[in-house]
Chain A
Amino acid sequence: MTDRALVVVRAGALTTVQDLGRPGHAHLGVPRSGALDGPSAALVNRLVGNRPEAAVLETTLDGCDLRPRSAVTVAVAGAPCPVSVDGRAVPWGAPVRVPAGARLSVGRAVLGVRAYVGVSGGVAVDPVLGSRSTDLLSGLGPPPLADGVVLPVGRPDGSPARVDVAAQPGPPAELVLRVTPGPRDDWFTAAAVRTLVSRPYRVSSASNRIGLRTEGPVLERARVGELPSEGMVLGAVQVPPDGRPVVFLADHPTTGGYPVIAVVRAEDLPAAAQAAPGIPLRFAAVGRRR
């Protein structure tokens, strides 16, 4: 019987377990899932001495409160937010020792959307298809955290990093997503393709782990009719019938029938995960890399 566990005191608006996800199963209809802001998840793992594949917690806007049953090292990064242990402020973006039974509070994001909580040993829920990630589209992996739930924690196999505070990029004041056109840009008018990469958009409050939804100019189709279902990639900019582009994030469906006008560069997606509703958004056309 192990007492290595975290008791969820306050689950927050939406807190999920995330790791590197489960790529390689798209042909079975299984989304890749995984942390939306991968570099921040990797950072908290590094700070607490975990391997990159260890599972962390991903919070949404208002953080969460946890009580470890035995002493653990934790680190919080991603969206900047107040962090405290039993009411006393502790550093964000640095390893912090939390005694057994103390209350770790991850507060509301000051900027950005998603904070990541790493814990030494990693969150050790049972993996599904090789991953512990919660997939909100298909329901694979553990359900989102609920108050009172107890999460098992693994054995630490590394030492916490010796840093005071790790440098990390702040959440964007303006989100710029670099896109390469296609594969279905020919389903849209030339004006629509120009509009996408020249006119301002905003991040919609309807955004979630499946897609970043947008508010802004409508993109007009050049073709009517339905596109037969085809495979979808991370970062695909899909345009549903309402004409407002949606950027596919980690829990995106593996196939879809709305045309993809462009694809966002993978390196720009972590910033998309931290773009709060209402933030200005611009799509910038770039050439394809060789």
Chain B
Amino acid sequence: MRVLPVGDRALLVEVAGAQEAQALHAELLRRRAEGSLSAREVVPAARTVLLDGVDDPVGVAARLSAEPLPAVPPPVREPVRIPVRYDGPDLADVAAHWGVPPEEVARIHSAAEFRVAFCGFAPGFGYLTGLPDRYAVPRHATPRTAVPAGSVGLAGPYTGVYPRSSPGGWRLIGTTDAVLWDHARVPAALLSPGTPVRFVPSLPEGS
């Protein structure tokens, strides 16, 4: 684990990979909840957790470097279930990348246990890990100018659901009616870092 200072009031804690980052994130949230860590923002990402708005970054960095973090498993929670029609325009293309028939994509994808590794790109957009490494797919070289809200896509090791229509380069395998983001709802985001997720196949429209 490396603790990198970021300006005067933030620290970037770097770990080996996604699982370590999730464990670190859970532990840092626990410390903040119990009052032993003061930070306005705790932002997990691919293999880092950013602490921003830290009053005493030097002290916090020293403490983090001195005591190795316990390998706390993230708290067990019921997964959020997201119904998906596996009818995306890139379904056949993803099947080709995976070397399976197109109808296998839904089975493989919905069998995986996902967790929100981090959020970014847009409010409520989660980067979900859980697919085995061999199913990683590259982004489109040229992003689509408009991806509809509710599109379920793959990029690299991640699965994501577009909270609203936006440009995007992810490979689209399906569609959901789940509302990923509604700022009038509490909480506004259906998915937040650490949330376990399962995708549940539903029948395509008109079948």
CB-CB under 8 A from A235, the residues of chain B are 7
Can you give 7 A-B contacts (C-beta < 8 A)? A28-B189, A29-B120, A138-B123, A140-B183, A182-B5, A232-B50, A288-B7
CB-CB under 8 A from B49, the residues of chain A are 231
Which interface residue of A25, A27, A229, A253 has the most chain B CB atoms within 10 A? A27
> CA of A183 to CA of B49 in the docked complex: distance in angstroms?
13
B178 at the interface (CB under 8 A from A): no
Asked if B50 contacts A233 (CB within 8 A), the reply is yes
Which interface residue of A230, A233, A264, A265 has the most chain B CB atoms within 10 A? A230
> CA of A47 to CA of B137 in the docked complex: distance in angstroms?
56
Which residues from chain B sit less than 8 Å from chain A, CB to CB? 4-10, 12, 40-50, 52-53, 58, 118-125, 127, 164, 183, 188-189, 192-193
CB-CB under 8 A from B43, the residues of chain A are 26-27, 231, 254-255
CB-CB under 8 A from A29, the residues of chain B are 119-125
> CA of A281 to CA of B52 in the docked complex: distance in angstroms?
26
Q: Smallest distance from the beta carbon of B75 to chain A beta carbons, Å?
A: 16
B45 touches which one: A128, A233, A255, A266 (CB < 8 A)? A255
> CA of A184 to CA of B124 in the docked complex: distance in angstroms?
27
Q: Smallest distance from the beta carbon of A111 to chain B beta carbons, Å?
A: 28
Asked if A288 contacts B8 (CB within 8 A), the reply is yes
Asked if B4 contacts A183 (CB within 8 A), the reply is yes
CB-CB under 8 A from B5, the residues of chain A are 180, 182-183, 288
Q: Beyond A23-B53, A28-B188, list 12 extra A-B contacts (CB 8 Å).
A: A27-B118, A28-B189, A138-B122, A138-B123, A180-B8, A228-B46, A231-B50, A236-B7, A255-B121, A263-B6, A266-B7, A288-B7
Whose C-beta in chain A lies nearest to the C-beta of B120? A255
Whose C-beta in chain B lies nearest to the C-beta of A289? B8
CB-CB under 8 A from B53, the residues of chain A are 23
Asked if A290 contacts B120 (CB within 8 A), the reply is no
A56 at the interface (CB under 8 A from B): no
CB-CB under 8 A from A264, the residues of chain B are 7
> CA of A253 to CA of B46 in the docked complex: distance in angstroms?
15
Q: Smallest distance from the beta carbon of B205 to chain A beta carbons, Å?
A: 28
Complex interface residues of chain A between 219 and 262 (CB less than 8 A to chain B): 228-233, 235-236, 253-256, 260
A24 at the interface (CB under 8 A from B): yes
CB-CB under 8 A from A26, the residues of chain B are 41, 43, 50, 52
Main SS of the interface on chain A? loop
CB-CB under 8 A from A289, the residues of chain B are 8
B48 touches which one: A28, A230, A236, A288 (CB < 8 A)? A230
> CA of A206 to CA of B11 in the docked complex: distance in angstroms?
29
CB-CB under 8 A from B42, the residues of chain A are 27
Q: Smallest distance from the beta carbon of A66 to chain B beta carbons, Å?
A: 27
Whose C-beta in chain B lies nearest to the C-beta of A183? B4
- Given the interface pairs A23-B40, A27-B41, A254-B43, the reply to whether A233 lies near B6 with Cβ below 8 Å is yes
> CA of A253 to CA of B45 in the docked complex: distance in angstroms?
13
Can you list, as one digit per residue, whether each of A5-29 has a CB less than 8 Å from chain B (1) or not (0)?
A: 0000000000000000001111111
CB-CB under 8 A from A255, the residues of chain B are 43, 45, 118-121
B192 touches which one: A28, A140, A231 (CB < 8 A)? A28
Asked if A233 contacts B10 (CB within 8 A), the reply is yes
> CA of A183 to CA of B12 in the docked complex: distance in angstroms?
7
A27 touches which one: B7, B12, B44, B48 (CB < 8 A)? B44
Q: Smallest distance from the beta carbon of A172 to chain B beta carbons, Å?
A: 20
Asked if B45 contacts A260 (CB within 8 A), the reply is no
> CA of A24 to CA of B52 in the docked complex: distance in angstroms?
9
Asked if A230 contacts B50 (CB within 8 A), the reply is yes
> CA of A190 to CA of B200 in the docked complex: distance in angstroms?
51
> CA of A269 to CA of B107 in the docked complex: distance in angstroms?
51
Q: Smallest distance from the beta carbon of A138 to chain B beta carbons, Å?
A: 5
CB-CB under 8 A from B6, the residues of chain A are 182-183, 233, 236, 260, 263
Asked if A233 contacts B124 (CB within 8 A), the reply is no
CB-CB under 8 A from A140, the residues of chain B are 123, 183
Whose C-beta in chain A lies nearest to the C-beta of B158? A229
Q: Smallest distance from the beta carbon of A178 to chain B beta carbons, Å?
A: 10
CB-CB under 8 A from B40, the residues of chain A are 23-24
Whose C-beta in chain B lies nearest to the C-beta of A290? B58
